[in-house]
């Protein structure tokens, strides 16, 4: 439970950092570029990006609901946490997490449209938001992106360590090696597995 609490706390902090950064960077960028300029810039540089009937538009229309709202619903890391929640809070947290996270692809898509409109398209698509953050906030934007990357890495790492050690402890150790292991022994084994991993 201590491991799960620390993971949930880390993920909460990480989510707040992601949302806060998006809420800071994107509105500032919108005020600098302007909605009308985004539209006209995209129409000049890549008009097919605004055509919902183009192949990429159809792909977006079909996949956006699944990627946006569905991201939290099919996340293995979320389901790992669901086993530790009180049963009366699982449904609410599932729906709230999915609806809140659904704004991330929308805002991310908007940053992509801003990059197209301004002609500042990086070679790698995963650099669109970092470039925008640096253009809008300078060194502060670079710092925010660095913090986000480090928080994401640590959040994923702690979840994977906890999930893998839980599976190995429960399924292998208790399932095959020592079926009568008590909780104190299980805790020691899980800690050892985490250290080994």
In angstroms, what CA-CA distances link 88 with 4, 100, 101, 173, 175?
18, 19, 21, 31, 29
pLDDT in tens, 25-43: 888 888 888 889 989 998 9
Find out whether 49 and 60 touch, Cβ atoms under 8 Å: no
Output the 3-class SS for the chain: CHHHHHHHHHHHHHHHHHHHHHHHHHHHHHHHHCHHHHHHHHHHHCHHHHCCCCHHHHHHHHHHHHHHCHHHHCCHHHHHHHCCCCHHHHHHHHHHHHHHHCHHHHHHHHHHHHHHHHCCCCCCHHHHHHHHHHHHHCHHHHHHHHHHHHHHHHHHHHHHHHHHHHHHHHHHHHHHHCCCCCHHHHHHHHHHHHHHC
Tell me which residue has tokens 């620390």.
6
pLDDT in tens, 145-186: 888 888 778 777 877 887 788 889 888 999 999 999 998 998
Least confident span in 58-72, 103-117, 126-140: 58-72
pLDDT score, position 33: 85
- Residue among 3, 15, 24, 6 nearest 151 (CA): 15
Q: How far apart are the C-alpha atoms of 111 and 190, rounded to whole Å?
A: 42
> Which comes out higher in pLDDT, residue 121 or 104?
121
Q: How far apart are the C-alpha atoms of 156 and 150, rounded to whole Å?
A: 10
């Amino acid at each position: 439970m201590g491991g799960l609490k620390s993971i949930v706390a880390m993920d909460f902090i990480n989510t707040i950092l992601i949302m806060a950064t998006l809420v800071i960077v994107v509105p500032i960028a919108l005020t600098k570029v302007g909605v009308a300029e985004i539209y006209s810039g995209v129409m000049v540089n890549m008009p097919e990006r605004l055509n919902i009937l183009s192949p990429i538009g159809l792909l977006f229309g079909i996949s956006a609901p699944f990627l946006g709202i569905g991201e939290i619903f099919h996340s293995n890391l979320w389901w790992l946490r669901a086993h530790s929640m009180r049963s009366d809070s699982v449904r609410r947290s599932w729906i709230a997490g999915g609806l809140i996270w659904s704004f991330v692809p929308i805002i991310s898509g908007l940053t992509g449209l801003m990059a197209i409109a301004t002609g500042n398209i990086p070679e790698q698509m995963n650099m669109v938001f970092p470039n925008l953050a640096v253009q809008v906030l300078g060194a502060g934007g670079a710092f925010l992106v660095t913090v986000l990357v480090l928080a994401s890495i640590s959040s994923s790492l702690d979840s994977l360590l906890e999930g893998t050690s839980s599976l190995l402890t429960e399924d292998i150790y208790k399932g095959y090696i020592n079926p009568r292991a008590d909780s104190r022994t299980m805790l020691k084994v899980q800690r050892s597995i985490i250290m080994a991993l």
